[in-house]
Structure 1
Amino acid sequence: MADSSEAKVIPIRASRGREENGQFRGAHERVSFSATDLLLGALGMAARGVAARTLGEGWQSKVASGLAFLRRRLTGDYEVDDFGFDPDLTENVLLSVLRPLYQTWFRAEARGIENIPAVGGALIVANHSGTLPLDGLMIHVAVHDNHPAHRHIRLLGADLVFRLPFVSELARKGGTTLACAQDAERLLRSGELVAVFPEGYKGLGKPFSERYKLQRFGRGGFVAAALRSGVPIIPCSIVGAEEAYPMLGNIEPLARLFGLPYMPVTPTFPWLGLLGLVPLPSKWIIEFSEPVPTDGYEPEAAEDPMLVFDLTDQVRETIQHTLYALLLDRPDAF
């Protein structure tokens, strides 16, 4: 690949050869080097340079690693899968940028990592909150950095993510795919860790007065996907996101004007302009509870509405009770 500027596309099972909202790349396509790759490569070099100056020890290896990464971007000597996930970029740039936020700003701690399997598919189901979807990104850092196998998480994102310029490409490269049952099952059957937020915008955009009160989990589509794939469901409870961007109000006319689910008013936004997008330094705790097994059921069990409802309720109650316990364990939000 030294003479090529194109990345190798690694198929995940059979390719459907289509693209939905910019989220899926067929195996027959080639992913070319772009200005975005150069920008992200430079960002990765900068992040590694800061780390080298801060940590002192081992700075030579960090700089060498950064240069090797930049060379791979320029020559196309890296791989992406059918969905556009770029592990090389994710590990060397995206997670490097998010790691200071996780470790220093939020002082996040991950619990129950042992409940995440070392290999094979699993569905992580988490509460959603905080106005902006930082919780999914923090889960990715928590699992990758704390799990012995350093596994990546494939987030299921709303269609709005894939309508935003630059954000859609960045999300796809970071492993996010459109939240639909077919793609979720395809990832699960291929042995990936998939994360879903059943509350959706109802949880993400709820007012601060309703913090840590779970919204509806929909019709249990995530349970059906796990049953059809035969993978365990891992409840995940996140404390800290609610205080990062406390949503005090919603400017509905502006939300409708821009086609957004809500236009938040927080203690810093829109009063401080772009500075209002900086999250407050709340203390985060992310806990992964014991898995709910599904391999004892036949795939046809996904069509049983009562079973789906019972499992959905079980997962929701586990997350809600864990949230209450974590709040008691975290006496100060900041």
Structure 2
Amino acid sequence: MRAEEGGGVGGARPRWRLGAEGPGRRPAGVVPEPPVPDLTPQPPEPAPPPAWEQALEESLAFLRRRLAGDYTVDEFGFDQDLTDSVMLPALRPLYQKWFRVETIGMHHVPAEGGALVVANHSGTLPLDSMMTAVALHDDHPAKRHLRMLGADLVFRLPVIGQLARKQGGTLACNPDAERLMTSGELVGVWPEGFKGIGKPFRDRYKLQRFGRGGFVSAALRTGVPIIPCSIVGAEEIYPKIGDLKPLARLFGAPYFPITPLFPLLGPLGMIPLPSKWYIEFGEPIRTDEYEPADADDPMLVFNLTDQIRETIQHTLYRLLSQRRNAFLG
């Protein structure tokens, strides 16, 4: 029986004739029938859980880790789990919604290895250091943690001192800074100290003295790059127009600020004004071209300190010239 006359298996018509080409082989010029599409309805993809449910799940997971002791604290007291799960989320609304921080030059911050971030200090309360830490974690591709160097007064304060340690802060001294940078950490320093953060509003964005350059010596000994950081916006959050020195001495503080809203409005005066912030990370200054012994050269340390200070100051002036309004940007 010829193939074209036969019914095939079960009487079905074959898709092409079997001829000289042999069984199972497609003759030249014959196009196969297109496959029948699968019209079976597919189940819809599950919708992502709502934000509150995801936040609740993360909070419960955090509590389970804390109760089980499933977290680590390094030799300086840094608790990464607490920082990522509690401290950074608490600061994030300020960073994203209140100050609307924009970062510039984040590519200048290395993705790994030790480095020293040197920034200007201002704002009456040190929110600028906290916002810089959020920026380097949230906006940097490597999500780096900033190990901040602070004055001893910070670590003597109840609760605040312990939280500063948990977030990765440590005393602003060369041995601690060098150990952190040698181990590959990103370290932050604000060399103006209380002179910068507590200066009057009329002196805003005018850098104060950078100390004796101890941070430069630490960078020279470890060979890590120094990254100038310029912060615009922090000066306007608590405009300091006066200082109650008797109260400052009573509390053992470097100053007791008077602002347009504090202490006039009491606790409400502690709410920072919603200024628009810019944080720019400048081109790194290399120190690996020097020998560790050069850290003891006072002229070299002075020149590098002055170079960093001038870089930050000029960047501040440039950012200010481009800003139209302190609150709108």
Structure 2 residue 303 is matched with structure 1 residue 310: yes
| Identity across matched positions, percent | 69
Give the CA deviation at 1:74: 1.2
- 2:267 and 2:159 mapped to 1: Cα distance? 18
How many residue pairs match? The answer is 280
In the other structure, the counterpart of 1:193 is 186
3-state SS of the aligned residue for 2:73? strand
Give the CA deviation at 1:296: 0.6
1:3-152 mapped onto 2 (5 Å cutoff): 57-152=50-145
- 1:332 and 1:292 mapped to 2: Cα distance? 31
- 1:212 and 1:163 mapped to 2: Cα distance? 28
Residue identity in the other structure for 1:199? E
Structure 2 residue 262 is matched with structure 1 residue 273: no
In the other structure, the counterpart of 1:30 is none
Q: Deviations along 1:15-57, whole A, 9 cap, x unmatched?
A: xxxxxxxxxxxxxxxxxxxxxxxxxxxxxxxxxxxxxxxx984
Residue identity in the other structure for 2:318? A
Give the CA deviation at 1:67: 1.0
Give the CA deviation at 1:258: 1.1
Q: Deviations along 1:129-181, whole A, 9 cap, x unmatched?
A: 00000000000000100101000000001111111111111111011101111
- 2:235 and 2:105 mapped to 1: Cα distance? 21
- 1:147 and 1:260 mapped to 2: Cα distance? 35
Q: What residue ranges of structure 1 are gaps of 5+ in the alignment?
A: 1-54
TM-score (norm 2): 0.84
Q: Deviations along 1:246-278, whole A, 9 cap, x unmatched?
A: 100111111111111000001111111111111
3-state SS of the aligned residue for 1:81? coil
TM-score (norm 1): 0.82
Give the CA deviation at 1:58: 4.4
RMSD between aligned residues: 1.2
Give the CA deviation at 1:66: 1.6
3-state SS of the aligned residue for 1:194? strand
Residue identity in the other structure for 2:71? Y
In the other structure, the counterpart of 2:203 is 210
Structure 2 residue 153 is matched with structure 1 residue 163: no
3-state SS of the aligned residue for 2:103? strand
Structure number with higher helix proportion: 1
Structure 1 pair 56–329 and aligned structure 2 pair: CA distance change class (3 A): farther
Q: What residue ranges of structure 2 are gaps of 5+ in the alignment?
A: 1-47
- 2:162 and 2:149 mapped to 1: Cα distance? 14
Structure 2 residue 326 is matched with structure 1 residue 333: yes
In the other structure, the counterpart of 1:34 is none
